[in-house]
């Protein structure tokens, strides 16, 4: 049901434009040096154009895409730019052909569904939860779900190993509601 709802919502150009603006606003607000995002599957927001704009607006910025090196293990993030050669990876998802591994400090995560507590429904592989639980270093990245407003539910069932996202953006809102940056 949520997959069909998301697929229908993805066909709306104004929703895609709104998600792109929210994504760029989020990047401006958090100012990451390296962002991780995802290659879009059917019905998912295609973040590549927004990421390309963000990369072009500042020096020393990096973007990356997840790579499944082994099923059941944490994802690895490899450097990506709009001209990066790609190859077909696990689950037939394109991934960077480069071996350059980076560590994002902000991570965009696709959502099939979500609740306002920050829990997301994905495809059930557990890759993002495993990745966040095994994150290198002391500080995990800021996690931002990308979702369609129509896929918000009152509450998702979650298990002890599920890790809520810090923020979820849709074409209509941000969860939790963002407060404006204080004036300098």
Q: Quick one: pLDDT at residue 36? A: 98
Element housing 51 (H / E):
helix 48-56
Mean pLDDT of 24-42: 95
Q: What is the DSSP string of 58-125?
A: STT-EEEEEE-SSTTS--EEEEE-TT--EEE-GGG-EEES---B---SEEEEE-SEEETTS-EE-SS-
SS3 content of the chain, % helix, strand, coil (to 5): 25, 25, 50
**pLDDT greater than 60 at residue 155:** yes
pLDDT digits (tens, 9 = 90+) for 49-84: 999 999 999 889 999 999 999 888 899 999 999 999
Listed by start position, the domains of the chain span: 2-175
Q: Quick one: pLDDT at residue 51? A: 98
Residue % of the chain over a pLDDT of 70: 88
Q: Quick one: pLDDT at residue 9? A: 61
Nearest 5°: the CA angle 98, 143, 135 is: 60
Q: Quick one: pLDDT at residue 30? A: 96
Q: Which CATH class is domain 2-175?
A: alpha beta
Euclidean distance between the first and the last CA atom of the chain, given in angstroms as a whole number: 46
pLDDT digits (tens, 9 = 90+) for 2-25: 655 555 566 676 788 999 999 999
Mean of the per-residue pLDDT values for the chain? 88
Q: Are 47 and 23 in contact (CB under 8 A)?
A: yes
């Amino acid at each position: 049901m949520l997959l069909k709802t998301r697929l229908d919502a993805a066909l709306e150009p104004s929703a895609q434009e709104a998600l792109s603006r929210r994504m760029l606003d989020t990047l401006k607000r958090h100012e990451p040096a390296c962002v991780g995002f995802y290659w879009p599957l059917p019905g998912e927001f295609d973040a590549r154009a927004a990421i390309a704009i963000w990369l072009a607006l500042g020096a020393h910025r990096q973007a990356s895409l997840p790579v499944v090196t082994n099923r059941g293990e944490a994802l690895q993030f490899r450097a990506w730019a709009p001209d990066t050669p790609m190859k077909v990876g696990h689950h037939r998802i394109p991934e960077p052909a480069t071996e350059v591994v980076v560590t994002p400090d902000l991570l965009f995560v696709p959502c099939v569904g979500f609740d306002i507590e920050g829990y997301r429904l994905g495809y059930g592989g557990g890759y993002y939860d495993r990745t966040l639980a095994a994150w290198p270093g002391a500080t995990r990245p800021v996690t931002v779900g990308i979702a369609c407003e129509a896929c918000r539910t009152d509450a998702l069932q979650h298990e002890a190993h599920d890790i809520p996202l810090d923020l979820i953006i849709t074409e209509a809102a941000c969860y939790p509601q963002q407060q404006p940056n204080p004036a300098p």
